[in-house]
Chains A and B, each alone.
Chain A
Amino acid sequence: MLTKRIIPCLDVHEGRVVKGINFVNLQDAGDPVEIAKAYNKAGADEIVFLDITASSDKRDIMLEVVEKTAEEVFIPLTVGGGIRTVEDFRRILRVGADKISINSTALKNPQLISDAAWKFGSQCVVVAIDAKQNSDGTWNAYIEGGRKDFGIDAVNWAQQAEKLGAGEILLTSMDCDGTKEGYDIELTKAVSESVNIPVIASGGAGKLEHFADVCIKGKADAVLAASLFHYNELSIAQVKEYMKSQGIPVRV
């Protein structure tokens, strides 16, 4: 049985993890390599690094972070943030990332999805979609960290991304993100049922039931969470234990 994946996401700014991390006694709670190691030990099925470094001349710090992590952590590693070209893909994959997540750039330049899939394989192209509900109940895809409506239907965009060669969809609900009231079941289900590639649900996790709900009702293939894990409100082991008790296959 294929298991549902539990994925912690780390925001990295100039090589340092932002948002507090206090789930385990680390010597350096801001070091992404240390945190990735701890999450690996805690049972994470994958790790996502989101580079939120604004200045382009400090972007290369991320390459070192990825390289060091890949030397010590042997589970899939996804890197997102600021990736604009096939050359960016090549550089990050070469230092040890397994997948690259692209968001605004994919909407502005969908050709990048095909180019990267052609060059490196669909398995490493993750298209991240920030979706927000419209008044008529549909969802639009947003860019620039959710600040700007791109004017395209999110479900339709997910289907296009799949056709272009995306290997997975990382779907964040702007409406639920930060609320801790649960993932967006309707959105996740709508996207998951309209594509034949895995959908990672993101945004809104607050308690154990939310993880099971989005997998069962929302048909998510994987679930992502950030602060919930970082602040040790829930551990990955607790989530997996709960999901297992609900009959959801997980890697234990």
Chain B
Amino acid sequence: MITIIDYGMGNLRSAQKAFEFLGFEAEITDNKTAILAAEKIVLPGVGAFADAMSNLNSSGISNVIKKKTADGTPFLGICLGMQLVFDVSYEGGEFEGLGLIKGEIKRFDLPAEYKVPHIGWNKLNTTDNILFSEIDEDIYTYFVHSYHAVTQDKDAVIATSNYGTEFTAAVNKDNIFATQFHPEKSGDKGLKMLRNFAKI
């Protein structure tokens, strides 16, 4: 069973439908007991970082996530869910994140010809990671974001992409995985990544 955390941010059904399509059971819940019992956790989300952290903190879910990830439960953050795993974000101020991986979230600072948000399919430069296993050809994934992660933990970076600058597209540290792109909207290759995560 995959446990998808509902914290009031965006379309959670897409991630659930993708796992179900692949033949894995997936529940959407905001119940802390259910999250504590989870075998695998997915944190999706679109929207503002500050609202998301505020929801996670006031509901107490942020502490549950910290406990579960420390216990070794496989965790996948998607899009905003990736940004939340870092220490701090500068979206609309300065806001503390979950601090599971060292780094900060900054707005794209690009020449005028680059539109922000970065929307669309972009190519990944991947490392040899379990998330990308059995995906051998070029990988393009679907991105929608204006902010990106800058991490000091270079070993955690498992994929980068290029948009005026090379930026971190996915990270993995121990049991914690996170993607800036949407694997649930990235066609067959995105689905393969979700399958790889579900099979860990």
- A→B interface (CB under 8 Å): 1-5, 40, 45, 70-72, 74-76, 93-96, 98, 120-124, 167-168, 196-198, 221-222, 251-252
Q: List 28 A-B contacts (CB under 8 A).
A: A1-B123, A2-B118, A2-B122, A3-B120, A3-B140, A4-B120, A5-B121, A45-B120, A70-B17, A71-B21, A74-B18, A74-B184, A74-B185, A74-B188, A74-B191, A75-B186, A96-B13, A120-B10, A121-B10, A123-B117, A123-B119, A167-B119, A167-B144, A196-B115, A197-B117, A221-B119, A221-B120, A251-B140
Measured CB to CB, the residues of B under 8 A from A are 10-11, 13-14, 17-18, 20-21, 46-47, 115-123, 138, 140, 142, 144, 162-163, 184-188, 190-191
Residues of B within 8 A of A74 (CB): 14, 17-18, 21, 184-188, 190-191
A251 partner residues in chain B, CB cutoff 8 A? 121, 140
Contact pick for B185, options A72, A98, A122, A252, CB 8 Å: A98
Contacting residue for B11 out of A45, A93, A167, A197, CB 8 A = A93
Q: Is the CB of B120 within 8 A of A198?
A: yes
With a cutoff of 8 Å between Cβ atoms, the chain A residues found around residue B184 in the complex are: 74
- Closest Cβ of chain B: how far from A73's Cβ, in Å? 9
The answer for the CA separation of A149 and B77 in the assembled complex, in Å, is: 46
Chain A hits for B122, CB < 8 A: 1-3
Given contact pairs A45-B121, A74-B187, A167-B117, A1 touches B162 in the complex (Cβ within 8 A): yes
Q: How far is the CA of A122 from the CA of B190 in the complex (A)?
A: 23
Least Cβ–Cβ distance between A38 and chain B, in angstroms: 14
Query: A45: which B residues are within 8 A, CB to CB?
Result: 120-121
Q: Chain A: interface secondary structure?
A: loop
Can you name the residue of chain A whose Cβ is closest to the Cβ of B12?
A94
A75–B14 contact, CB under 8 A? no
How distant is B181 from chain A, measured CB to nearest CB, in Å? 12
Query: In the complex, which residues of chain A have a beta carbon less than 8 angstroms from the beta carbon of B20?
Result: 71
Residue pairs across A and B with CB atoms within 8 Å: the count is 83
For the residues of B in contact with A, the DSSP-based class is: mixed
Q: Which residue of A lies closest to B10 (CB)?
A: A121
A247 vs B94: C-alpha distance when bound (angstroms): 41
The 4 A-B pairs at the shortest CB distance, nearest first, are namely: A251-B140, A251-B121, A123-B144, A3-B121
Instruction: Tell me if A98 and B123 are in contact (CB < 8 A).
Output: no
- On chain A, the residues within 8 Å of B120 by CB distance are 2-5, 45, 198, 221-222
A230 to B46, CA, bound (A): 33
Among residues of B, the one whose C-beta sits closest to the C-beta of A77 is: B185
A2-B121, A120-B10 known; A221-B46 Cβ under 8 A: no
Q: Contacts A74-B191, A121-B47 known; A98 to B163 CB distance under 8 Å?
A: no
Q: Is the CB of B191 within 8 A of A221?
A: no
Asked if A96 and B144 make an inter-chain contact with CB atoms under 8 angstroms apart, the answer reads no
Decide if B185 touches A76 in the complex (CB within 8 Å): yes
Q: Tell me the complex Cα distance, A3–B161, Å.
A: 12
User: CA of A200 to CA of B151 in the docked complex: distance in angstroms?
Assistant: 33
Assess whether A40 is in contact with B187, with CB atoms less than 8 Å apart. yes
Q: In the complex, given contacts A71-B17, A71-B20, A124-B46, what are 13 additional A-B residue pairs having Cβ atoms less than 8 angstroms apart?
A: A1-B123, A1-B162, A5-B120, A40-B187, A74-B184, A75-B185, A96-B14, A98-B11, A98-B185, A120-B10, A121-B46, A221-B119, A251-B121
CB distance from A127 to the nearest CB of B (A): 14
- Give Cα A110–Cα B102 distance, bound, in whole angstroms: 41
Residues of A within 8 A of B115 (CB): 196-198, 221
